[in-house]
Amino acid sequence: MKKRLKSILQVVISLALGFFLIWYVYQKLTEEDKQNIMESFQEANYWWIVLSLVVAILSHVFRAYRWKYPLEALDLKVSMINRFSAVMIGYLANLAFPRLGEVTRCGVLARYQRLPFEKLFGTVVAERLVDLIILLSLVVLSVALQAEILLDFVMGILEPMLEKTSSILILAGVGVVGLIAAFIGWRFLQQSVNPIAVKFREIVAGLIEGFKSLRTMKGQAGFYFHTALIWIAYYVMYLVTFQTFPETQEVPPGGVLASFVLGGIAIVAVQGGLGAYPLAIMLILTLYGIEESRGYAFGWIVWVGQTALNVVLGFMAIIAMPLINSKTAKEAPGDAS
């Protein structure tokens, strides 16, 4: 009961934050801004969005194929169509509940293929660890490539504060307190018997174990090759959307990468990126001379396209899974494990 209540609260809070961000941006828009956004929706070249969705499907295919390697390392045989369907159902679940996709993805395979859930989940943890490392690397790369622009942006915010000596002292004090708090927090997580600290250590240990399993996995070359294909497809999928408007075509590759990374973080931070994704894209694009109304409209167009694709493919997968595995279901009637 407590877990269910916690899950419901997470969804409600995340959705509330998403709708708040939509309201926050909307109430700041002038009538001219609203008109410009509507014109942007009308002027967009949606064929580029369609092309990006085709590339997105390829990225999902690559992800489903990559899953084969850690599964086979545990002697788990799953067909490509089942892996793809499970991946898409996982994406759909992530839109409904934060971070539920990985659990759902393994749960549907455990049910229809009669495979151990724990082993399936271990393979997904290992995959996610690799993806997390790549995402963090892209964050560092995007900051390095756009250091000058980002530094100017940050300094533009800080300069008015730094004009006063008192503000400098306050910032220095906050920095020192932050470092002390980080050290205390780290020591607490290492030594405490508090359930939260223990859970954190278990998660870290699981991630380390998952990473170790990748080192002993057969077909490592294939796994990392398809990992590269996934992330290349992600970037190309996003890159082609910049052909939607003449203005966005002029954004340099570094700016595309920066908005790609921030948009990805927004999707993780807020339920499916609702409200947060368009805002994140707008904030980055304004650094490259794109009007706020145009950048905001662009963010919504990309978000709606990708979300709609995941919803459609997810529901198709839900319908397909029982049909694909009808023989297995007949062999084990009523088996929901």
The amino acid present at 24, given as its one-letter code, is: Y
d(CA 70, CA 64): 11
Rounded (10°) angle between helices 117-145 and 147-162:
70
What one-letter code names the amino acid at 268? V
Q: What pTM, to 2 d.p., does this model score?
A: 0.79
Q: What was the pLDDT predicted at 149? A: 67
pLDDT of 59 higher than 70: yes
Q: What's the rounded mean pLDDT across residues 145-149?
A: 70
Segment 37-60 shows an average pLDDT of 95
What counts of helices (H) and strands (E) characterise the chain? Answer: 15, 0
The whole-number average pLDDT for the span 149-169 is: 56
Where residue 75 falls among pLDDT bands split at 50, 70, 90?
confident
For residues 143 and 209, the model is more confident at: 143
Given this model, what pLDDT does residue 305 score? 94
Per DSSP, the three-state class of 137 is helix
* pLDDT at residue 9 is higher than 70: no
**Whether residue 158 has pLDDT greater than 60:** no
pLDDT over 90 (residue 245):
yes
pLDDT for position 46: 96
| Residue 337: band (very low, low, confident or very high) from pLDDT cuts 50, 70, 90 | very low
pLDDT at 336: 37
Cα(301)–Cα(38) distance, integer angstroms? 11
Q: Which of 91-105, 148-162, 227-241, 300-314 has the lowest mean pLDDT?
A: 148-162
Tens digits of residue pLDDT in 178-225: 777 777 766 666 666 677 667 666 666 655 655 666 666 777 888 999
Q: Is the pLDDT of residue 229 over 60?
A: yes
The Cα–Cα gap between 233 and 48 comes to 15
How many C-beta atoms lie closer than 10 Å to residue 259's C-beta? 28
Identify the pLDDT of residue 269.
76
Give the model confidence (pLDDT) of 247-294 as tens digits. Answer: 999 998 888 998 998 888 888 777 788 888 999 999 889 888 899 999
| CB 60, CB 88: distance < 8 Å | yes
Can you say whether the dihedral through the CA atoms of 22, 25, 28, 31 is positive or negative? negative
Q: What is the pLDDT of residues 108-126, one digit of tens each?
A: 988 888 888 888 888 888 8
